[in-house]
Amino acid sequence: MERVDLLRSRDRGPDRGGGDLGRLIATFNAVLDRLEEQRSLRSAEVHPGEEAERRRIARELHDEIGQGLTAALLDLKRVADHAPPALQGDVKQVRDTGRASPDEGCQVARRLRPDVLEDLGLASVLAALVTEFTEAGGVPVVRTGDPPPRLSPQAELVLDRSPRRA
């Protein structure tokens, strides 16, 4: 019992067959199953205020920071047009670095509050993750089977927020 990690999902005591020891281990594993079920139910009870705050932060990241970075990139373009030839390369490098920032901000905003989850559901989020993984890692991933059925918005949100394991 001491070796079981209560924070690791599905970490259970070994099956030791029948007898008192087997019943004790089975009871211990049943308690772990109930604890995990309760933890999942509590996770599913997403606080509405927390989600509203995530939405607000995601919107600000997307709108305000994105607009500010776009304005800075336009100013940098104007500077690059008037910069001496010796600085052209440096200015271009700064501009190229700056171009990635709005995309990174959008990715953070999507992780805070994925619009695709609300609009299209968990199946679309999973399909997008498969595509991202394939593009980023160069490892082709093939989806098989039917897409998962639509779940409640709270359940889909909890699944989307759970840590992604390889």
Residue 69 CB neighbours (<10 A): 18
Q: What is the pLDDT of residue 9?
A: 65
What are the residue ranges spanned by the domains of the chain?
1-45, 47-112, 114-166
pLDDT tens-digit readout, 16-31: 777 888 888 888 888 8
pTM of the predicted model, to two decimals? Answer: 0.40
Average pLDDT over residues 34-41: 78
**Cα separation values, 118 from 62, 161, 166, Å:** 17, 13, 24
Write the pLDDT tens digit of every residue in 88-121: 888 888 888 888 777 777 777 777 766 667 778 8
Quote the pLDDT of residue 159. 75
Per the CB < 8 A criterion, the answer to whether 69 and 101 are in contact is yes
pLDDT over 70 percentage in the chain? 85
* pLDDT for residue 56: 83
